[in-house]
């Protein structure tokens, strides 16, 4: 198929590249000339493991191209994916101005039947609004489909190529059949393609992320209880995660969730509920717990050092909101590091991919290092904020030798408490029996 993907952000690039990999002809269009120039010169404006290599192969083989000519991309394609941003407004609602602008362009420039696919994360009712915007300009038939994405940053290519399920929201059998044909190469192992109405598909995306965010916040609450009663949350997690009704995923406590999806989607579904006169109390608590959890490691710092940490030097491992990405949107580090600096401490941080983003957001208030051990030079204590694989098995003897106070604040529970004790390190995890006083 000839497919246009409008928007070359995270979702648009992954979607376009993966569809090109299965033999489709893809043009990714964006109004930002800087992004398109970067892509056409062989660069990639985001970091996602394996994406740069996959883009290069499909560009070299003539299946994938990039342009700022949105009108031409729409005119020359059979299927148009809308993959532009939907940033949250001050009230938590998703801003649809970019989605509706693309819909207007589709109605203006389509030259025949078009299958229009909402891939952006959008609130319930958006497919109907997109259809109305297209209809106001269109002279040809079209169908609008809601096709939410379930990509995890760091594993997005595998998530797209081997999906747990494909959700299609539409009212047209013609559109459903075209979408099934498009996705058939990715579900050959029997994973389901689920067809439903557009409203249900739109809500499915928000409900999935809200439920996962709820699991994380629940375990962060359990971790706080563990610290108060002397239990180990790692054991509790193992005990409940082995229950087939619960399962082990998203039961790892830490310093809170961040990124572009969970915080935004929790706010958006709460806003949708409010607009329909429903008080979604659980998600209000989820958001409050997450914001509180971002400061929990700071409480442990002050419990150890006392109210003043002025003059202390902290090594920090991890800046991105999760491993295998350079994304720092709503990352816990953006709460923790400024608080350390404001309290008079100095910070020397390391992250395998996110330093360039951190410099934009934190500036010269923080020092940066290329290698984890370099951070430890002159540091009183180590703070782990993101669980990159590179941090999991360091030279513990060297770590102990470098840290002046021999203290580790592990915000992701990546280290063994036994290993810490063996090397004479004072260790504070999340939910591992150390309650802030």
Q: CB neighbours (10 Å) of residue 337?
A: 24
**Which two three-digit tokens encode residue 252?**
């790892």
Work out the angle at residue 88's Cα, subtended by the Cα atoms of residues 82 and 93, and round it to the nearest 5 degrees.
95
DSSP 8-state symbol, 363: G
**What is the rounded distance in angstroms from the CA atom of residue 225 to the CA atom of residue 306?**
22
Contact 326, 48 (CB under 8 A): no
Longest dimension (CA), the chain: 74
**Nearest alpha carbon to residue 198 among 124, 97, 101, 96:** 124
**What is the rounded distance in angstroms from the CA atom of residue 153 to the CA atom of residue 164?**
16
3-state SS assignment for residue 352: coil
CA dihedral 47, 52, 58, 63 (to 10 degrees): 30
Work out the angle at residue 372's Cα, subtended by the Cα atoms of residues 382 and 370, and round it to the nearest 5 degrees.
130
Beta bridge partners of 64: 26
Q: Which of 18, 261, 350, 375 is catalytic?
A: 261
**What is the rounded distance in angstroms from the CA atom of residue 432 to the CA atom of residue 315?**
21
Backbone angles phi, psi at 13, to 5 degrees: -65, -40
Contact 116, 40 (CB under 8 A): no
What residues contact 386, with CB distance under 8 A and at least 6 apart?
Answer: 317, 318, 319, 320, 321, 322, 323, 331, 333, 351, 412
**Nearest alpha carbon to residue 392 among 323, 314, 298, 296:** 323
26, 47, 273, 277, 436 from 72: Cα distances, Å? 13, 28, 39, 43, 60
In terms of phi and psi (left: phi > 0; alpha: psi -120 to 50; beta: otherwise), the region of 280 is beta
Q: Is 261 a catalytic residue?
A: yes
Active site residues: 261
């Amino acid at each position: 198929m000839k497919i246009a993907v409008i928007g070359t952000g995270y979702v648009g690039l992954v979607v376009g590249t993966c569809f090109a990999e299965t033999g489709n002809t893809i043009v990714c269009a964006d109004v930002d000339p800087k992004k398109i120039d970067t892509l056409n010169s062989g660069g990639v404006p985001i970091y996602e493991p394996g994406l740069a290599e996959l883009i290069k192969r499909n560009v070299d083989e003539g299946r994938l191209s990039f342009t700022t000519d949105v009108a031409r991309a729409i005119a020359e394609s059979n299927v148009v994916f809308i993959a532009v941003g939907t940033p949250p407004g001050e009230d938590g609602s998703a801003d649809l101005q970019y989605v509706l602008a693309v819909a207007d362009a589709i109605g203006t420039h389509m030259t025949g039947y078009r299958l229009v696919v909402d891939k952006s994360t959008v609130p319930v009712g958006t497919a109907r609004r997109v259809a109305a915007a297209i209809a106001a300009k269109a002279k040809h038939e079209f169908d609008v489909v809601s096709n939410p994405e379930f990509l995890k940053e760091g594993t997005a290519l595998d998530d797209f190529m081997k999906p747990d399920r494909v959700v299609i929201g539409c009212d047209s059998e013609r559109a459903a059949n075209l979408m099934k044909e498009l996705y058939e190469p990715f579900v050959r192992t029997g994973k389901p393609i689920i067809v439903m109405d557009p409203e249900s598909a739109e809500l499915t995306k928000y409900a999935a992320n809200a439920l996962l965010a709820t699991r994380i916040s629940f375990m962060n609450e359990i971790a706080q209880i563990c610290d108060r009663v002397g239990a180990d949350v790692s054991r509790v997690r193992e005990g409940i995660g082995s229950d087939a009704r619960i399962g082990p995923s998203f039961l790892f406590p830490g310093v809170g969730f961040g990124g572009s999806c969970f915080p935004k989607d929790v706010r958006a579904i709460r806003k949708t509920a409010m607009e329909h006169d429903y008080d979604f109390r659980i998600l209000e608590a989820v958001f409050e717990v997450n914001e509180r959890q971002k400061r929990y490691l700071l409480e442990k710092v002050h419990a150890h050092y006392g109210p003043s940490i002025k003059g202390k030097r902290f090594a920090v491992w991890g800046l991105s909101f999760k491993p295998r990405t350079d994304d720092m949107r709503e990352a816990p580090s953006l709460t923790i590091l400024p608080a350390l600096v404001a309290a008079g401490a100095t910070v020397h941080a390391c992250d395998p991919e996110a330093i360039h983003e951190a410099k934009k957001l934190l500036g010269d208030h923080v020092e940066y290092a290329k290698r984890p051990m370099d951070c430890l030079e002159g540091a009183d204590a180590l703070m782990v904020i993101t669980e990159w694989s590179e941090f999991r098995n360091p030279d513990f003897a060297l770590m102990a030798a470098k840290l002046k106070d021999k203290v580790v604040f592990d915000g992701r529970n990546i280290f063994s408490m036994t290993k810490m004790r063996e090397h004479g390190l004072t260790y504070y995890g999340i939910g591992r029996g150390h309650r802030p006083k």
